[in-house]
Chains A and B, each alone.
Chain A
């Protein structure tokens, strides 16, 4: 057992403050993704409503925005915001702030599209029935349309949230030291003493990501069950 712990590099975890540093790296990941997710949900809902408008101008703008997000790799967006902004307009963003901008830009577009889809999937007769029952526009939205929309939205948006969390290791490219970078630092610092440390450390990273994403999925399936009854 002792040999296994050493061979697979779990021992380096307990050297010095290594484990705390890994948790610190994970906190950076979590902080950036949670702020971005929160902003994306708020802005995405607004955008989704805008996307359902029949106005050709808003339609075109939303379309272009959505396509840009879909076509551009997140890494390119990160480079544009972090390095490009400094080069072109002399703005110096902190790397974490640049990361939040990019993830929110991405999350808002995808969330907006999900909201649009969910809103449009509510059949017209739901609105008509509501109006004929004497509900006004906002009553219809708040008691008929939005509750149904949220139910349809939930599984898809949870998928988006976990995807955003899982994409955060990219921010290492704009000089943010997050969990995977801390892991690589530890592996390299111990490359002679424990050459197999990579296995142990990335296993721990796997466990950390699982610990973050699993409760989110659990919550989603719990809500889905609760609402389906």
Chain B
């Protein structure tokens, strides 16, 4: 009986092995069909195993993969007809147009943006990607196309225009884990913070008078003050200015140079101002255009 079992086992092992191999091979060939530049991309692997497609390989393949948000209105979102829209998407379409290739949008999660570039799943990330020193060690950022800073919103009848107006008994509302929380704890430890885990909790608390002001990314507070009556952004810019820029896989010089030249060239037609007016003006209003837009990669 043992003898029979061993024979049966060998047979099964062969069957399982064949199925696995066929599965893996069909997977590879499927991936290759979908992405003709694959073989070349693999050769371009750098020593630490990152994979990217050079400018010529992207042009040769006829399509570019751009990672964007699909649920961050108004930067990258999908409209009711299933079409990608937003400030980042508008720029992405232009990049593809000027490269003369089709654009393939890849819906990205905030936490996966670095990984997606490092594994060559996308050629460019255009997903509201804030430039930080830590990230710059992992990916290559091109020239910026937008500013971000912190902002503070408060009730219109008691507008706070300077942090010194906040008394010792007053509290400022922040969302846990955001740049606003980190900034205020480091630079203004004397201010009492009330922390909430989600946007909606913070919003409810703020509207019920739990704090004299609410600190968050300035884009968020501006959008809030524009949609809810009775609130004003007293401090539209707080702390260090950060910028938002496209990112490519570390070492992808040809693509990076092309994007930088593209951003500089687009300044002639004031492209990002047009982008703002098409996509962001409904949320932020005309007043913040100069504050938010970076044209030609030049920070004023």
On A, residues with C-beta under 8 Å from B are: 12, 15-18, 21, 43, 46-47, 49-50, 53-55, 58, 82-83, 86-88, 90-94, 97, 101, 137, 172-173, 175, 177, 181-182, 184-189, 191-192
Contacts and interface: CB of A to CB of B under 8 A. Distances in A.
Contacts of A172: 109
A55 B9 contact: yes
Q: Main SS of chain A's interface residues?
A: helix
Nearest to A90: B42
B128 interface: no
B239 interface: no
A119 to B, nearest CB: 13
Contacts of A186: 78, 80
B16 A175 contact: no
Contact of B79 (A16, A97, A182): A16
Given A16-B79, A16-B80, A94 B30 contact: yes
B112 A175 contact: yes
Interface string B111-151: 01001101111000000000000000000000000000000
A90 B40 CA distance: 11
B119 A86 contact: yes
Q: Main SS of chain B's interface residues?
A: helix
B165 interface: no
Interface string B70-108: 111100011111100000000000000000000000111
Interface of B: 2, 4-6, 8-9, 12-13, 15-16, 19, 23, 27-28, 30-31, 34-35, 38, 41-42, 45, 49-51, 70-73, 77-82, 106-109, 112, 115-116, 118-121, 227, 283
A16 B81 contact: yes
A151 B108 CA distance: 44
In order of increasing CB-CB distance, the 9 nearest A-B pairs are A16-B80, A86-B119, A188-B71, A15-B80, A185-B78, A16-B81, A90-B42, A184-B71, A92-B31
A49 B107 contact: no
